[in-house]
Amino acid sequence: MGRLSVLTAAAVLVVTGLLGVPLAQATPSDGVLAARQTADKYCDSATGLCYLELSTRSTNPTYRVAIPGAASAPFDTLLQIVAPASLGWAGFAWGGGMTLNPLTVAWPDGKGGVTVSSRWATGRALPTVYSGATLKTLSATTNATHWAVEVLCAGCSRWGSGASLSSTGVHTFAWAMSKTPVPQPANPSSSFSIHNNVGMVSGDMADAQVAQSVFQAHAAGGR
């Protein structure tokens, strides 16, 4: 992703107040796994915070991850999800697949905000609520084109019997999205229907590292 596109996204952010917009992508052919992806560093001009940005194409959500320095898991994580307004829900899998790792799922709450839900799947069926991770919403916005949320997660960097998110090297995440609205949008425990698209995305965790003090100040204050 070129610097110009990042700057363009930052300019839109200032104008719209949205958490940035997904960066335009070349369109790959349709498929169950979206093959094309970019992983790059994205800096939010409003907060100065930088994230590892994972995106595929403009009709899919964009995900941004930040972590507190080069810590060893468990550490808190920050996740931004920016989704086209047409999507009913968007999910992020911290361990790179659907099952046996923390899933962070979000959807418009029907009242101008965004509901976030911590889930876990033991099979490829509706994931159940997962109490091993705690989510705190730092900001949420919706407008005509996108909905967006930033969430702090305690419990998304370590799970199961020792699996974890490394703060260095390349890590593979996975994502999923659905065009179907969630039936009980204000309820984090709501059911929801299966995805229309899923994918895996890898990124250099060095791009997700934020100075501990900056991370903590952002996590404490929200915006």
CB-based contacts of 8-12 (< 8 A; 24+ apart in sequence)? 9/42, 10/43, 10/44, 10/45
Rounded to an integer, what distance in angstroms lies between the CA atom of residue 85 and that of residue 82?
9
Q: For residue 75, give both structure tokens.
A: 């550490």
Closest distance of CB 220 from ligand HEM, Å: 27
Q: Could you give phi then psi for residue 170, rounded to 5 degrees? A: -90, 130
Q: Site residues for ligand HEM, window 114-143 (CB under 6 A)? A: 119, 124-127
5: left (phi over 0), alpha (psi -120 to 50) or beta: alpha
CB nearer ligand HEM, residue 173 or residue 215: 173
Q: Site residues for ligand HEM, window 5-64 (CB under 6 A)? A: 32
Q: Looking at this protein, which amino acid is placed at residue 147?
A: W
208 binds ligand HEM (CB under 6 A): no
Using CB positions, name the residue nearest to ligand HEM: 91
149 binds ligand HEM (CB under 6 A): no
Q: For residue 214, give both structure tokens.
A: 């900056």
Q: Is the dihedral of CA 8, 16, 44, 74 positive or negative?
A: negative
Rounded to an integer, what distance in angstroms lies between the CA atom of residue 77 and that of residue 65?
7
Stretch that binds ligand HEM, among 35-43, 130-138, 163-171, 188-196 (CB under 6 A): 188-196
CB nearer ligand HEM, residue 164 or residue 193: 193
Question: Binding residue for ligand HEM (CB under 6 A) from 21, 34, 93, 152?
Answer: 93
Token pair 């839900």: residue? 117
Closest distance of CB 217 from ligand HEM, Å: 29
Question: Binding residue for ligand HEM (CB under 6 A) from 18, 67, 103, 156?
Answer: 103
Which positions touch ligand HEM (CB under 6 A)? 32, 91-93, 97-99, 103, 105, 119, 124-127, 174, 176, 192-195, 198
